[in-house]
Structures are given as C-alpha cells and as structure tokens.
Structure 1
C-alpha cells in the first residue's frame, strides 16, 4: 500500500512538473519579441482603402489611406509591434469593384514566428555575410476578396498564406466625419480610379472596357520547378548575386556564400543555382564581368502575358518538368536574350524590357 501511494505521489509530481514546463515554454513563445511594421498592398490598377481593422491579437491598424504600392510591395506604416499577430480582421473598400469586402480569420502565425526566428543571410557590399530580419508583415487585397499575407525584409519577401474575404454591403451610418463619409460618396470613388497618382494613365488605358480578371492573382501562386541559367560570352564570368521578383509577390536573391572576395579576376567562378519550385518570374536582375574585369549589370522585366503563356505551354504536358530560364549576354555586353528551355522545348522570350549598365567598377 505504501509503495502504491509512493508511486502515485511521484506520478502526480511528475505531471505537475511537465505541466509547469509546458506552461513556461508557452509563455516563452508568447513573450518572444520580434519588431515589425504592418502594411498593406494591392495590385496596380485596383486600389483599395481599409475601412476598419487590421492585424489582430494584438491589434495593428491598417487604416493607412488608399493603397497604391503594387502586389507584394510594402506600403505605408504608422506603428510598430513586437508581438506576432494571430489573425486578420479587416473591412476594405475595393474601388475598381465599387464594393466592400470583409475578412475575419486566423493567419499562419506559426509560420510567421518561424520566419522571424530564422531570418535570412545576405552578403553586404563588403562581401561579408550578415544576418537580416523580416521587418514588415504585408496584407494584400486583390479583386474578388483575395487576401495574401507576406513577410518582407531587405531584398526578400516570403508568402505566409492566402485567405478569402466576403463581399458585404454597408449602409452609411450617422455621425461620420468628413473623411469617413467619402467611403459612401460615388463621386469620390470614381475620382480615385481616375486619379493618375493612384492609377497611372497607362494602366487606366490598358484596363479600360476590360472585365476585372478575377482569379488572376490565384494563378500567380502556381509554382513550377525551374531555375535561371546564365551565358556570359567572350570569356566573361558571372558575379555572385541574382535577384528575382516573382509574380506571386515573393522576392529573393540567389547568392553563392562561398564566393571569394576577389583579389584576382581570373579566379575560376561559376554561380551554382539549384532547381527550385517557385512562381513565374516578374523580373530578374544579375551582374557579370567581361574578360577584362569590367563589371556590368542587367535587369529583365518580363511582359506578363508572354512569360505566363511560355510557362503554361512548356508545362502543359508535364507539370513535373524541370526547366531553365536562360539569359544569354551578347558579345558586346549590350543586350540579353532569354529562352525558356525544358521538356524538349525552347520558347524565346522577346517582349521583355531590359536595361544593361556598365559599372564604374573594374577588377
């Protein structure tokens, strides 16, 4: 009997200790601080304005005026938080659709915490590696009530998740101030869509008399297995950094962390890039050296319809294809040709806009 009582006592003590340990671990997680700024974004040509709400638990307002930043970009911010948000509770006005949407949902706060904890590595101008943190959490609002959340830091933006809002009707309540009444003013709403500082004239003309492309921003999130490759002619060599902006709003840089600080340009160097499952690119920037050590940089901004169609065609018969997006610099370092290659196909990308710069730097 005494042995039995002793065993029960030990079991109860162990259970209490485990419960106390779990409580301490939970409190540690809840009190861990990560400084970040809340902001929101919307696609070009489809401005929105938050009517009420923001990130929730803790509450961080997204009432920041009319959004014009562009899909996945960081907009304005008025406050800083050090606690991980648990959800979204927002009502917003979609000017192009002339309606309100609302959302109240939990967001992937565990992924947010993980990204805060991990951060990412970047190579600075000195060539030394340094740790960088995410310092924005972005809520993106697209037509149809589509909501996407990203985290952003220096030269890197990572998607957290996609959520769905609901269209609602709001009748103008009494007692509103002069600005709040504008939400219900048809002249004001129309004026926002015609304001060239909010919707550039080129975008207005492009979208004129066209239906809103519902579903487009979900199609941006489709990912394929591909990698960029680079051909530098006439004995030129790649630099260590490639920057990619993707249609789904993500952004990152490929850097070879084993890249040596050059003392001799003739060092044999090739950037090692792996196949990655990722969205279709919006733009790609990279730099290279000619055989004399002259540094050049180039950026290719894709025509959205062309690059989208190219990926659709190449992956039509086999979704698991591994493809290369090849960037080939001409002999005089003044022009870049682009091809999407894979599954026995080669598709020339000819409608992109590009810039090539010759740097003052020379190795």
Structure 2
C-alpha cells in the first residue's frame, strides 16, 4: 500500500521579477493540484511561500509529475516544462518531518506545502515547506514558448492587452516603490543569480549569548530558498555541520539570566531600508534586494574553501552590538553589512 499525506501548493517569485501562472498541475496518481491565472501575480520574494489556493482534506499520494507554463512579465516571455519528480525523496521527507515544530518542542511536525518558484529565463525550483522548514526537492529548466492572444484560453486573453504589462510593472501595489527605485538605479538582477544562490558549503551557526542565558529558538533562511527552524531544549547542543547555502537571515530567541525572553534578528544587507520598507510584503523575511553585493555573500562565494567545514559565529553577548564573523581553518572573516535588532 502506497503512503498518503495531506498537501497543498503555492507559488513564489523574485520581488524584481513578477510572474504569472498560465497553467500548471502537481500530479499524483489519485489527485491533481491545479494552477492558472486565478492565482494572480507572484512576486513576494524568492523562496517566500505565497498565497494558498485550496487543496484537499483527504490524504493523497505524493505528486510524481509537475507541469507548468508561466508568464514572465519583465521579460515578456512564456516558459513551460513537464518534469518527473523524485517521489522517493519527497516521501522520505514527509515521513521524517522534523522532531519538533517551530512552536512546540514536544510535537513532531512535517511538510505540507509544495512551493513552486518561478524564475527568469525559465528557471523553476520546487521546495517543500512546513512550519518554518523549507527544503529544495527539484530544480528544473523550462523552455521558452510562444502563446498569442488568439491561442490563449479566454480567461487569460486580458494579459495581452496593450497596457497590461506596463500597468502591472508600474503598480506600487504589486511592485513596491523601493524595488522600482532600485531597478531604475541599478537595473534588474542577473537572472543567473538564482542558480548561484544554490551553491552550498558545510557550515553551522554558532551563537554566543549573554552570560547566564538559555537558547530557546533559532531560525535561519538561506538564499536558495531553504529554511531551518529549531526549538532548543539543551543550550549546549549545537546544530550539525552540513551543506547549506549562504544565509541571509538569522533569528534567535533566548531566556536571559533573569528568566526574561529576549530575541535578536539579523538580516544581511547593506541597506536597512530594504528590510524596513519591504517588510510590508512578507514581514521582512525575504531575500534582501542587495544581497549579492553584501560582504556575507562575497565572503561565502569568493574567499572560502567549499570543501572545509565552516562556522558562522553570531556573538550577541553584548546585547544589541551583534558581532558576526565567518571562521574557517583558523581564519576569521568579519561580516559588517547587516540590519540587526534585539528585543
């Protein structure tokens, strides 16, 4: 008997590259999860889960196939693909889940959402998301195709109207003004960045807390769209070193020596306004608009040996004066560009 689970789907796209679903399906033997124009514009940030569009209350098999056709507004191009999924890996992830959820250290959690990342130049990434955890389960390349207004299904014909694309890309309700300003000043990001963000090395976070404090929770986001969240019962326990992409956000929560809860969030950006203004989109958790220009990204990609274990040290023992550095093979690389706060 094949195993069954409860799952749904959603879309993701870079802030600077709004995308629109034309047609798509996650296909299992006993269920198909559909996508179409009714999903609207996806632009909430690379790897950021978007809105949810229903699903089934029944347990169903994992999908074995993904079909997708989408419209890239900036490029004014359509892309499409048909891909077989790694059902063995997906089933294993559903079964393993995680030993604790983000809110309850005694409750086992699992994945429940397939996040389809639509990128420029036909890039598509598939992630599994659940309760603060997100992991890549597919990386695909779509082919550019032609669709005309005459060929499009009736409910999609409006996309071909003369001013539709211009109106969408200039709408501040869709493209945040700070994003528009950045594009006007610097142009669009290199589409190949979304592949570069997938590069990994063996690293682990090491947190130095104020004296007498006890770590309770940690959460970190990587540029490739993956996320890890853990509750921490043992303050001395360390996360294992494993292959991870470069991180752009750390969040920690702890109890100080007096038993009061405190927390710290650090986002690696050279422009804190990106975090402040675009928090209206997704609570400030998405990939910063300038991340590829930060010292965190540059150190990770240009100065480190990808074959050697690495520590990313976050020293918040002095409260708001967070000190971050990367340590590899006895050498320290300070990270200066960040937006940080302690509550």
Give the TM-score, by structure 2 length.
0.85
**In structure 2, which of residues 258, 264, 267 is the aligned counterpart of residue 292 of structure 1?**
258
CA contact (8 A) 1:314 1:342 kept: no
Shift, 1:293, TM fit: 3.2
Structure 2 residue ranges without an equivalent (≥5): 270-290
**In structure 2, what is the equivalent of residue 355 of structure 1?**
341
Deviates most, 76-85 or 181-190: 76-85
1:314 matches 2:303: yes
Distance 1:353 1:158 in 2: 25
Shift, 1:174, TM fit: 6.1
Distance 1:151 1:330 in 2: 35
Render the CA deviation track for 1:276-308: whole Å, top value 9, x for unaligned.
Answer: 211110200112333333321000011212111
**Is the alpha carbon distance of 1:124 and 1:299 closer, same or farther for their aligned partners in structure 2, counting shifts above 3 Å?**
closer
Shift, 1:66, TM fit: 1.1
Render the CA deviation track for 1:105-124: whole Å, top value 9, x for unaligned.
Answer: 11212211211122212156
Render the CA deviation track for 1:180-230: whole Å, top value 9, x for unaligned.
Answer: 222212411111111122211111111225244121111111111111112
**In structure 2, what is the equivalent of residue 86 of structure 1?**
64
More relative contact order in 1 or in 2 (CA 8 Å, sep 6+)? 2
- Asked which structure has the greater CA Rg, the reply is 1
Deviates most, 72-81 or 87-96: 72-81
Structure 1 residue ranges without an equivalent (≥5): 1-27, 260-268, 358-363
Render the CA deviation track for 1:64-104: whole Å, top value 9, x for unaligned.
Answer: 11112322222223231423211111111001111110111
CA contact (8 A) 1:229 1:326 kept: yes
**Is the alpha carbon distance of 1:175 and 1:214 closer, same or farther for their aligned partners in structure 2, counting shifts above 3 Å?**
closer
Shift, 1:169, TM fit: 1.2
**In structure 2, what is the equivalent of residue 41 of structure 1?**
12
The RMSD of aligned alpha carbons is: 2.0
1:62 matches 2:35: yes
3-state SS in 2 of match to 1:252: strand
Distance 1:301 1:45 in 2: 19
1:215 matches 2:192: yes
3-state SS in 2 of match to 1:62: strand
**In structure 2, which of residues 159, 163, 172 is the aligned counterpart of residue 187 of structure 1?**
163
CA contact (8 A) 1:240 1:271 kept: no
Distance 1:278 1:175 in 2: 41
Deviant stretches of 4+, over 6 Å: none
Shift, 1:33, TM fit: 2.2
**In structure 1, which of residues 118, 130, 138 is the aligned counterpart of residue 115 of structure 2?**
138
**Is the alpha carbon distance of 1:133 and 1:114 closer, same or farther for their aligned partners in structure 2, counting shifts above 3 Å?**
same
Distance 2:174 2:110 in 1: 30
